[in-house]
A and B are shown apart, each in its own frame.
Chain A
Amino acid sequence: MKKIEIEFTINGKKRNLSVKPNDLLINTIRNDLFLTGSKYGCGIGECGACTVLLDGEPVLSCLTLAATVDGKEITTIEGLAKGNELHPMQIAFLKNTAVQCGFCTPSMILTATALLKENPNPTEDEIRDYMRGNICRCTGYIQIVKAIESCAEGGKSEPV
């Protein structure tokens, strides 16, 4: 297979890579760029664990060919904090104990940030609806919803 040269921005950094046509974005991110926050869960678009932001929108990196992100901007969980300063959504997840085993957490946090960008003050129903593709098998949904609510406009989220 002919390799493809791609250039894209990931977490604010420009990267040039040579990828195979059948390379999946999840594997490129994890194995080539060593950003292991994004998780491989089901591989068929059911669980949401591999969610990354592509030009600001949540997409599934297990169903995205690496070749297709040429010229695009990707954000993974590693790109949210600024140095040692966590993103407000990360703080909200910590404060609300919205993390159990942690496997779904990176995708939950990324999807939640996209929700608040779109809808800064969502109702509980809107939160649950937007988050419905991100599955938590520890079933800590109540804390996750609370964390997102606390981060929304009017919600109170103090730094830890």
Chain B
Amino acid sequence: MHTNTKILAQEFEYLAPKTLDEALSLLDNYKDKSARILAGGTDLLVKMKTIDLETDYLINIKNIPELNFIDTTDGLKIGAAVPLSHIEKIGKVKEKYPALYEGIKSMAAIAIRNMGTIAGNICNASPAADTVPPLIAYGAEVKLVSKRGERTVLVEDFVTGVGKTVIEADELITQVNIPEMNKNSGSAFSKKGRVKADIAKINLAVYLEREDNICKDCKIVLGSVAAKAIRAKEAEGLLKGQTVSPSLIDKIAKKASEEIKPIDDIRSSVEYRTEIARVIVEDTIKIAWGRAGGEL
């Protein structure tokens, strides 16, 4: 059937809480009903228009002051309603968290980034989400708050599958916390699409910590190659504690490409994703290593 995207056909009640407490009360009231949180709407409204997704209540959290802050004092704390474009403009993000900066910059175009939020990108739980590999690589966590209390969950554990997360119906992500970066650490992001604004055929974030010529710790996180972003843990194991050299990076890249489980879909093929994974893991480790002050 032809879908008319000129209008939003489905009917729902619109709620615009002014405070966090009000939003949590609404979520608590409607937890047994079909209610959705609206932030940027760049994914949600598309899904609602194409009738993939129906809801009776839409709760707009975009204008809640408690969710609109950026704190750079210790690491990075980003309120759930902060638009992506505001995050990319923070000096500390570009300087200390280049993988996140590059991931956000690679997303869609400016109008979408002015609307979409980091928490929305995580909650949407697309395997191709561009902020998720960097956030996992940095060990970031989300703070989930409800009337019952609050908890923090690593982004790595938060997303469980395509469109699936561990969030409960009465919970709201209020902020994303990213730990302070160690002085000798380096990170980088890479993405392959047909054109710049595309959804990723494959994306990748690498984080590593250097001590002289040795890689003390590392994370290699790939997106769009499984039901959710995954760490290439065997490849990480080959890198950790080792003296970094071009031949070692070669071996790690090959291992990472063997670890992923991509599928054929409209954007790419298993064959391409497997081959390009090897290439971008190699390139991105080299960039991250260079940023950590390492030499090859």
Contacts and interface: CB of A to CB of B under 8 A. Distances in A.
The answer to whether A and B assemble together is yes
A94 interface: no
Contacts of B114: 54, 57-59
Interface string B35-53: 0001001100110011000
Interface of B is mostly: loop
30 contacts: A2-B14, A21-B13, A21-B58, A22-B10, A23-B8, A24-B7, A24-B8, A27-B6, A43-B4, A43-B5, A43-B49, A44-B5, A45-B42, A45-B46, A45-B111, A57-B83, A57-B114, A58-B111, A59-B114, A59-B115, A60-B111, A62-B5, A63-B41, A63-B42, A65-B45, A65-B58, A67-B14, A130-B110, A132-B195, A133-B197
B117 interface: no
Given A2-B13, A57-B114, A45 B85 contact: no
B85 A44 contact: no
Given A27-B7, A63-B45, A63-B46, A45 B14 contact: no
B3 to A, nearest CB: 9
A4 B109 contact: no
A51 interface: yes
Q: Which size class do A's interface residues fall under?
A: 35 or more
A114 interface: yes
Interface of B: 4-14, 16, 38, 41-42, 45-46, 49-50, 58, 60, 62-63, 83, 85, 108-112, 114-115, 195-197
B12 A21 contact: yes
Given A57-B85, A63-B41, A63-B45, A129 B8 contact: no
Interface in A31-54: 40, 42-45, 48, 51, 54
Interface in A89-122: 111, 114-115
A134 B109 contact: yes
A24 B8 CA distance: 7
B109 A132 contact: yes
Nearest to A55: B114
A64 interface: yes
A68 B40 CA distance: 10
Contacts of A40: 6
Nearest to B108: A133
A2 B41 CA distance: 20
Given A22-B10, A51-B111, A65-B41, 5 more contacts: A21-B12, A22-B7, A62-B5, A68-B16, A132-B109
Nearest to A56: B114
Contact of B13 (A1, A48, A70): A1
Interface in A1-42: 1-2, 4, 21-24, 27, 40, 42
Given A27-B6, A27-B7, A59-B115, A68 B109 contact: no
